[in-house]
Amino acid sequence: MSTLIVVGAQWGDEGKGKIVHLLGKKADTIVRYQGGNNAGHTVVFDGKKFVLHQIPSGILQPGRRCLIANGVVMDPWALRDEARFLESRKIRVKGRLFISAWAHLILPYHRYLDALRESGQGKIGTTKRGIGPAYSDKVGRVGVRLADYMDPPTFRTLVEQNLSAKAPLLKSLVSLAVLRNETFKDYDSLRRFFEPLMADTPALLQKDLAAGKNVLFEGAQGTMLDVDFGTYPFVTSSNPIAGAACVGSGVGPAAIDEVLGVVKAYTTRVGDGPFPTELKDSFGDALRERGQEFGATTGRPRRCGWFDAVVVRHAVRINGLTRLSLTKLDVLEGVDPIRVCVAYRIDGKVVKDFPASRRAQAEAVPIYKELPGFAGPVKGITRYQDLPDAAKKYCRFLETEVGVPMALISMGRSREETILLDKSFRWIP
């Protein structure tokens, strides 16, 4: 048996979908343990582009079982559409995808509440998909779980209670009658759709672990969007970090063997909030175009900046990372010099650990180390020894600076565009 957690070690969009798809060849079960359909994982498989939001990207590996666990908040309509999309592309979902009966649902009133907040002073740059309000209902103990949804009397009672409480807040956006109609839209057909998918996922996982199977846990977003350890309040509403894989799926921490952190060769983030190494110039714009840095979910342009070792060291510590996967090294081809942020200057002091204070995060001035750039082409290289010396030096510098070895270097979205570094990493196919 082997268990692996794959997490984003920056602000998300690091390329986790491709890595999960690649390593999923060794998995028997792939588990999505948190987040909602605000996440977007882009994978190129057999020459076709797939953008997935809720279903684990491991579904693209034939014969693997995929679980949407209890830590996820699920949009029933969006999930059904995603499953239909996959089936239309000849990717079998039925009999392979199972959803936790304990998972909470995103309902129409959650999306309206999200839009209401984003229109006011509390705006933080969400996708307006209702994820935050759904998690608020969960911790407020008024949420609706899939098990409740599948029981009509319980569901109707819970919905009416929630509509009574939320309608006054939403009267400027939508009437109670419209909200009720939207919430019950397609209810009978959706129940039939979810009936064969709903499962006791902790029990399924326990059987897998007892049988010695390989289980891969997949998070959404990234460490710096973690509601506890990210750039609060400009964060997501759940915990993308590795520790949440246990809470979000129903397995104990003793069952986890390794944690792989996925990092981009530079840094990006979507939405508002502090970003110390952001490049607000023509080179930042060029980096965005070269890396095609536009959100898979919303199409929003991502903010781009130099690699921030302070951020990644924070992710190493919080997640207990054992290895790294570096993505998009090819985007830096021809850039000279390449800069890496190794520390911050805050209030005149040099700081190497990421600060908790929102003022310190906003005012941190990066301290850079310059490294020589490398010429190409590097895209298409699949052996580490064939990389330019400066590219290899850059990779080794990052390893040393953050304190974790690299297992993989990714040069593109397809699984073939990958350099496999560490043969002792048992998940490498």
Active-site annotation, residues: 13, 41
Tokens of 353: 């650990």
Tokens of 330: 């090819």
Q: How far apart are CA 244 and CA 242, in angstroms?
A: 5
Position of tokens 């590795």?
Answer: 242
313 close to 7: Cβ distance less than 8 angstroms: no
Let me know if 59 is exposed, middle or buried by CB neighbors in 10 A (0-12, 13-18, 19+). buried
Q: Could you give the dihedral angle defined by the CA atoms of residues 225, 231, 236 and 240, in that order, rounded to the nearest 10 degrees?
A: 30
CB atoms within 10 A of CB 165: 13
- Indicate the residue type of 2: S
Cα dihedral sign for 110, 53, 239, 97?
A: positive
Cα dihedral sign for 12, 15, 18, 20?
A: negative
Those residues with Cβ within 8 angstroms of residue 167's Cβ, 6 or more apart along the chain or in another chain: 176, 179
Tell me the DSSP string of 213-258.
-EEEEE--S-GGG-TTTSSTTSS-SS--STTHHHHTTT--GGG--E
Q: How far apart are CA 155 and CA 145, in angstroms?
A: 9
List, in sequence order, every residue forming a beta bridge with 73; answer none if it has no partner: 104
Tell me the DSSP string of 347-367.
TTEEE-S--S-HHHHHH-EEE
H or E stretch including 311?
A: helix 309-319
